[in-house]
Structure 1
Amino acid sequence: MSTNSKNFPFTAITGQDEMKLALILNVIDPKIGGVMIMGDRGTGKSTTIRSLVDLLPEIKRIKNDPFNTNPEKFLDLNLTTENIKTPMVELPLGATEDRVCGTINIKQIFSSGDHFYEPGILARANRGLLYVDEINLLDDHLVDILLDSAASGWNTVEREGVSIKHPAQFILIGSANPEEGELRPQLLDRFGLFVEIKTINEPKLRMKIVEERIDFEKNTEKWYESYSLDQISMKEKILNAQNLLNQVIIDPAYQLKISEICSQLKVEGMRGDIVSTRAAKALAAFENRKEVTVEDIKKIITFSLKHRLKKDPTDSLSSTNLNKKILELAETIFSSL
Structure 2
Amino acid sequence: MNRPHFPFSALHGQPQLQLALLLAAIDPQIGGVLIEGPRGTAKSTSARALADLLPAGRFVNLPLGASEEQLVGSLDIQAALQDGRVDFRPGLLARADGGVLYVDEVNLLADALVDLLLDVCASGVNRIERDGISHQHEARIALVGTMNPEEGELRPQLLDRFGLFVRLGERIEPAAREAIVRSRLRFDRDPQGFVEGQRAAQEALMQRLERARAKVGQLEFDDALHRQVSDLCYAAGVEGVRADLVLLRAACAHAAWQGHARIGAEDVAVVAELVLAHRRKLPPDAPPPSPRAEPPREGGATAPNEGNDWGELPPQAVPTAQLDGARPLPTKKP
Q: Is the TM value for this pair above 0.5? A: yes
Give CA deviations for 1:122-169 in whole Å, capped at 9, x if unaligned: 221223321111111100111111112122333333444444333333
State, as a whole percentage, how many aligned pairs show the same letter: 44
Q: 2:42 aligns with which of 41, 44, 47?
A: 44
1:88, 1:128 within 8 Å by CA — same for their partners in 2?
yes
TM-score for the superposition, normalised by structure 2: 0.78
Q: 1:196 aligns with which of 156, 167, 170?
A: 167
**Which aligned pairs between 1:125-164 and structure 2 lie closer than 5 A?**
125-164=96-135
**Which aligned pairs between 1:26-175 and structure 2 lie closer than 5 A?**
26-57=24-55, 85-109=56-80, 116-175=87-146
In the TM superposition, what is the alpha-carbon distance from 1:218 to its structure 2 partner? 0.7
The residue aligned with 1:239 is: 210
Q: Which has the larger radius of gyration?
A: 2
Give CA deviations for 1:151-191 in whole Å, capped at 9, x if unaligned: 23333334444443333332222111111112111111111
In the TM superposition, what is the alpha-carbon distance from 1:208 to its structure 2 partner? 2.8
**Cα distance in 2, alignment partners of residues 268 and 173 from structure 1:** 23
Give CA deviations for 1:208-232 in whole Å, capped at 9, x if unaligned: 3222212101101111122222112
**Cα distance in 1, alignment partners of residues 175 and 123 from structure 2:** 45
- Give the AA of the match of 2:159: L
The residue aligned with 1:62 is: none
The residue aligned with 2:4 is: 6
**Cα distance in 1, alignment partners of residues 246 and 81 from structure 2:** 47
The residue aligned with 2:300 is: none
In the TM superposition, what is the alpha-carbon distance from 1:294 to its structure 2 partner? 2.5
In the TM superposition, what is the alpha-carbon distance from 1:196 to its structure 2 partner? 0.8
Which range moves more in the overlay, 94-103 or 38-47? 94-103
**Which aligned pairs between 1:254-293 and structure 2 lie closer than 5 A?**
254-293=225-264
Q: 1:22 aligns with which of 20, 23, 27?
A: 20
The residue aligned with 2:318 is: none
- Give the AA of the match of 2:5: N
Q: How many residues align?
A: 288
**Secondary structure at the counterpart of residue 44 of structure 2:** helix
TM-score for the superposition, normalised by structure 1: 0.77
Which range moves more in the overlay, 169-178 or 18-27? 169-178
**Cα distance in 2, alignment partners of residues 88 and 94 from structure 1:** 18
Higher helix share goes to which structure? Answer: 1
1:15, 1:200 within 8 Å by CA — same for their partners in 2?
no
Task: List runs of 5+ in structure 1 lacking aligned partners.
Answer: 58-84, 312-321, 330-337
1:34, 1:193 within 8 Å by CA — same for their partners in 2?
yes
> Using a 3 Å threshold, how does the CA distance of structure 1 residues 161 and 246 change in structure 2: closer, same or farther?
closer
2:76, 2:88 within 8 Å by CA — same for their partners in 1?
yes
